[in-house]
Amino acid sequence: MSENYTNPLRTAVLGVTGYSGAELVRLLLDHPRLAAHSPLLLGRSGSETVALTSIHPQLSGLPNADSLSVVPFDLKLLVDEKIDILFLATPHEQSREDVPAAVAAGLRVIDLSGAWRLHNDANRAVYKLHDADPALAAQLQTEAVYGSPELHGEQIKTARLIANPGCYATSIILALAPLVRANVIDLDYGIIADAKSGVSGAGKAPTPTTHFMYAADNLSAYAVFGHRHTGELLEQLHLDASQIQFTPHLLPIPRGILSTIYVRLAQPGSILNIQSLYDEFYANAPLVRIRRSPALPQIQHVVRTAFCDLGFQLSPDGKRLVIISCLDNLLKGAASQAVENMNLMAGFSQSEGLR
């Protein structure tokens, strides 16, 4: 399907006011393979046209940024403009509402929200979704590809609808997928994923918990059981709910996630074996970096990059493994992973425009 794009790719972004949307626009403006006026920027249908730099003054001076406007969403406009790929960086309710018509109109869609990530109805219940056309939504849901290039690269290339993964989920899934695939975890013991995220993960709306006075000089756990990214872990790692415990925390930093993941190995291992297993799994993954023990990932190494860094420590008896996984929640956890998906859909190199 990638042969469609002998011409420069034409993209559009619906939802540019939030943090992920702004990062996505920045990446697309800088991308070497897009059409001259790409991306087309879209606000809610019926909204007023405004200059991009009036929303994000920090983007002024970037190539083309000062001439870009955000226009109201209109499917006809997208078709007329021959948009190839539409990104949505919108709340999940809006994604669930706008995606079916967009796909029906022939657009390929990359949705950054949680609307289409979960195939199991029970898992998806946390999103409280209401579909105008439940049958169509169910069919699209079945077709939607979970946009993890490391796990589903082949399917992504030809997909019509990509559900871009959650930020916490990406950090944990990339840390565990090689072990799960190799079947080396003793799942009877359960996996613990203790994750910590910067405040941008909580969104741009001013709330009591995003207030500087709450978040600064603080650390707090939340959603100790039942965070809605849990469903992604279960489905992508083929686990049941008793086999993994995921607890998020709010870090006093703007961006970045560090997940500390504790597993028990079925057989005592060595750190070299573990690293080999990851090296092999990620041999063709340009945006996953494997750290050599005793070096470990840290948040500063990944912030404002498209990388996920993974590192390991093993107990002296070789039975207990701790995996540290770091990424930038707005990039590998959102916008740059969306661009990876676009690259694969368009037949570009996976990391085009991301290093």
Q: Which of residues 11-30 bind a second copy (CB under 8 A)?
A: 19
Residue 56 CA to residue 17 CA, distance in Å, equals: 8
Segment near a second copy (CB under 8 A); pick from 103-111, 176-184, 215-223, 336-344: 215-223
Segment near a second copy (CB under 8 A); pick from 39-47, 90-98, 110-118, 186-194: 186-194
Residue type for position 309: D
Of 80, 183, 208, 283, which one interacts with a second copy (CB under 8 A)? 208
Residue 285 CA to residue 327 CA, distance in Å, equals: 15
Beta bridge partners of 324: 260, 311
Are residues 267 and 184 in contact, defined by beta-carbon separation less than 8 angstroms? yes
Closer CB to a second copy, 69 or 81, in the complex: 69
Segment near a second copy (CB under 8 A); pick from 72-80, 130-138, 176-184, 260-268: 260-268
At 298, list the tokens. 């840290």
Strands 85-88 and 108-111: parallel
- Concatenating the DSSP letter of every residue in 62-113 gives STTGGG-EEEE--HHHHHHTT--EEEE-S-HHHHHHHHHHHHHTT-EEEE-S
Question: Per rule CB under 8 A, is residue 251 in the interface with a second copy?
Answer: yes
Question: Per rule CB under 8 A, is residue 252 in the interface with a second copy?
Answer: yes
Question: Per rule CB under 8 A, is residue 217 in the interface with a second copy?
Answer: yes
Closer CB to a second copy, 107 or 314, in the complex: 314
Query: How many positions of this chain bind a second copy (CB under 8 A)?
Result: 71
Are residues 115 and 92 in contact, defined by beta-carbon separation less than 8 angstroms? yes
- The 125-164 site mask, x for binding a second copy (CB under 8 A), equals ----------------------------------------
Nearest approach in angstroms of CB 239 to a second copy is: 14
Of 289, 318, 347, 352, which one interacts with a second copy (CB under 8 A)? 289
Residue 89 CA to residue 111 CA, distance in Å, equals: 7
Strands 11-14 and 40-43: parallel
Residue 187 CA to residue 240 CA, distance in Å, equals: 10
At 122, list the tokens. 């029970």
Residue 106 CA to residue 307 CA, distance in Å, equals: 32
At 9, list the tokens. 């790719």
Question: Per rule CB under 8 A, is residue 50 in the interface with a second copy?
Answer: no
Are residues 11 and 342 in contact, defined by beta-carbon separation less than 8 angstroms? yes
Closer CB to a second copy, 137 or 299, in the complex: 299
Closer CB to a second copy, 102 or 239, in the complex: 239
Q: What are the backbone angles phi and psi of residue 211, rounded to the nearest 5°?
A: -60, 140
Nearest approach in angstroms of CB 351 to a second copy is: 9
Closer CB to a second copy, 73 or 278, in the complex: 278
Nearest approach in angstroms of CB 206 to a second copy is: 4
Question: Per rule CB under 8 A, is residue 269 in the interface with a second copy?
Answer: no
Nearest approach in angstroms of CB 352 to a second copy is: 12
Catalytic residue among 167, 193, 290, 331: 167
Any catalytic annotation for residue 326? no
Question: Per rule CB under 8 A, is residue 303 in the interface with a second copy?
Answer: yes
- The 319-348 site mask, x for binding a second copy (CB under 8 A), equals xx-x-x------------------------
Element (H, E) at 290: strand 288-290
Question: Per rule CB under 8 A, is residue 67 in the interface with a second copy?
Answer: no
At 340, list the tokens. 């990876």
Question: Per rule CB under 8 A, is residue 211 in the interface with a second copy?
Answer: yes
Of 71, 189, 271, 273, which one interacts with a second copy (CB under 8 A)? 189
Residue positions counted in the chain: 355
Are residues 118 and 94 in contact, defined by beta-carbon separation less than 8 angstroms? no
Nearest to 40 by CA among 18, 77, 11: 11
Question: Per rule CB under 8 A, is residue 171 in the interface with a second copy?
Answer: no
Residues known to be catalytic: 167
